[in-house]
Amino acid sequence: MTDFTIGLAYAMPAIPIWASYVLTRQRRSDLHKAIRDDAIDAGLIEPPSLHPVVDLNACIGCGACVLACPEGNVLGLIEDKAHLIDPTRCIGHGACKTACPADAIDLVFGTATRGVDIPYVDPSFETNVPGIYIAGELGGMGLIRNAIEQGRQAIGSIAAATKQDDRTGDMLDLLIVGAGPAGISASLAAQQAGLRCETIEQDSLGGTVAHYPRGKIAMTAPVELPGYGTLNFREISKEDLIGIWTKVVDEAGVPIAYEERVLEIVPQGVGFSIATTARTVHARRVLLAIGRRGTPRTLDVPGEGKTKVVYRLIEPEQYVGRSVLVVGGGDSAIEAAIALVDVPRTTVTLMHRGEAFDRARKKNRATLEMLVSGGRLVCCTGTKVLEIDDRHVALVNARGRAQIANDDVIVCAGGVLPTEFLRKAGVSVERKFGSP
């Protein structure tokens, strides 16, 4: 038996293993490429905030970054190189950079074609306006544990500065704007520090987290929450996390004013005058712990102020037996309409002012088409809302005006970024195009 024959005999058992590996790798590459192509086809190519950029020359294709991402299929391996395949689902965990053994990943804000506005913040979390501080998502930290830590650290800086204040009178030491992860952490830390503090939240406890889909894994690493201790969870759903926050805030007696929005921050001789939708507050310092989604974009039509109009779908079950109009042309609008279709005795109409849902994912568009063709959902494109009353909604399109019976309206039209609000307060904002 020759050496070649002996070598071949030893190699034969390895051939199926090698072939299986090559096939698996190719299938994975094809899957990740399909996800990327779907995102490109839907125009969903711009990450909302902090995100990874991969140096393909340095990438060794090990896939550690892909496995480390808690969101799943945000990064993928295509032809043995890591790529950002589903950019809009990246929320800035940063776990990919930590996991990369080749240091081939940088975390940046914005892209070459789309800038992201980031306010100036110094190491103490103070902006260029003395007395106005920023922590959390607005400053670019979308990751929950980082936002919680920033909220705590910002209060440390504010508490230190407060020691120099004349605290006579009834002016607040601090007004915290926002009750998301950073705002909750800051509110608890401020109470521990003995600061005279109130918190204002335009929506409900949890901020951006409250807008996550039901059952979404919200946090994947332990974090220290002031007044509670360590949230020692490797995985926790948004519902359970908000439940914990609610319990901690209630037990601590932290004063939070919900459904109140800050309209303007005006510097005074001492501190600030803060105008809200309900009152005017005077505080020496302000901590902005608001999200980057800002205020929901409205339709600006008569009747929009009615209680039947909301700006997100929370629990589909509350719409049993109702006639619901969903307004919007993106994935959030389509997904809301799809979720409502299965609610018993509910009539669902999806309305979009555009002629096509060209900014939505292919999978959602396909599901929508199937539901419409099956008569389970009414879809009106090229249509706008004219007026909302208690029992009807008036619409208009190229065919003229129409009126549909209606009990509830859900507007999914995105949000107005708080950039102008910051600039009006004097806070410097820098537009970053793919830079740290």
Would you say 58 and 374 are in contact if contact means Cβ atoms under 8 Å apart? no
pLDDT value for 41: 79
Q: Has residue 77 got a pLDDT over 80?
A: yes
pLDDT value for 58: 95
Q: Has residue 232 got a pLDDT over 80?
A: no
Task: Give the integer Cα–Cα distance in Å for 172 and 254.
Answer: 14
What is the C-alpha end-to-end distance of the chain, expressed in Å?
63
Higher pLDDT among residues 154 and 238, named by residue? 154
Would you say 49 and 91 are in contact if contact means Cβ atoms under 8 Å apart? yes
Q: What is the dihedral of CA 123, 128, 134, 137, to 10 degrees?
A: -90
pLDDT value for 341: 94
pLDDT tens by residue, 308-325: 998 888 788 999 999 999
DSSP state of 157: H
pLDDT value for 343: 94
The stretch 196-203 carries a mean pLDDT of 93
Q: How many helices (H) and strands (E) does the chain have?
A: 10, 27
pLDDT value for 1: 54
pLDDT tens by residue, 346-368: 999 999 999 988 778 888 889 99
The stretch 182-207 carries a mean pLDDT of 92
pLDDT tens by residue, 17-49: 666 766 878 888 888 998 888 888 777 777 777
pLDDT value for 3: 64
Task: Give the integer Cα–Cα distance in Å for 81 and 226.
Answer: 41
Average pLDDT, the chain: 86
% of the chain residues with pLDDT over 90 = 48
Higher pLDDT among residues 142 and 296, named by residue? 296
pLDDT value for 211: 67
Report all structural domains of the chain as residue ranges with CATH numbers, in order of start: 3-108 (3.30.70.20), 117-294+418-432 (3.50.50.60), 309-414 (3.50.50.60)
Ranges of beta strands (E only) in 116-210 are: 116-119, 132-134, 172-177, 197-201
pLDDT value for 158: 96
Higher pLDDT among residues 13 and 421, named by residue? 421
pLDDT value for 64: 93
Task: Give the integer Cα–Cα distance in Å for 38 and 36.
Answer: 5
Task: Give the integer Cα–Cα distance in Å for 197 and 215.
Answer: 33
Would you say 254 and 192 are in contact if contact means Cβ atoms under 8 Å apart? no
C-alpha Rg value of the chain to the nearest Å: 25
pLDDT tens by residue, 126-153: 999 999 999 988 887 667 778 888 999 9
Tokens at 53, concatenated: 């950029």
Residue 2's pLDDT band, with cuts at 50, 70 and 90, is low
Q: Has residue 374 got a pLDDT over 90?
A: yes
pLDDT value for 210: 73
Residue 168 is which amino acid?
T
pLDDT value for 363: 84
Q: Has residue 330 got a pLDDT over 90?
A: no
The stretch 70-77 carries a mean pLDDT of 84
Residue 68's pLDDT band, with cuts at 50, 70 and 90, is confident
Pairing, β 262-267 against β 272-276 = antiparallel
Residue 169's pLDDT band, with cuts at 50, 70 and 90, is confident
The stretch 1-16 carries a mean pLDDT of 64
% of the chain residues with pLDDT over 70 = 91
Would you say 177 and 200 are in contact if contact means Cβ atoms under 8 Å apart? yes
For residue 407, what are the contacts with CB-CB under 8 A and spacing of at least 6? 308, 319, 322, 323, 324, 391
* Across 85-94, 391-400, 410-419, least confident range: 85-94
Measured CA distances, 239 to 13, 33, 108, 231, 337 (Å): 50, 33, 30, 14, 21
pLDDT value for 359: 77
The stretch 60-73 carries a mean pLDDT of 87
Pairing, β 392-397 against β 400-405 = antiparallel
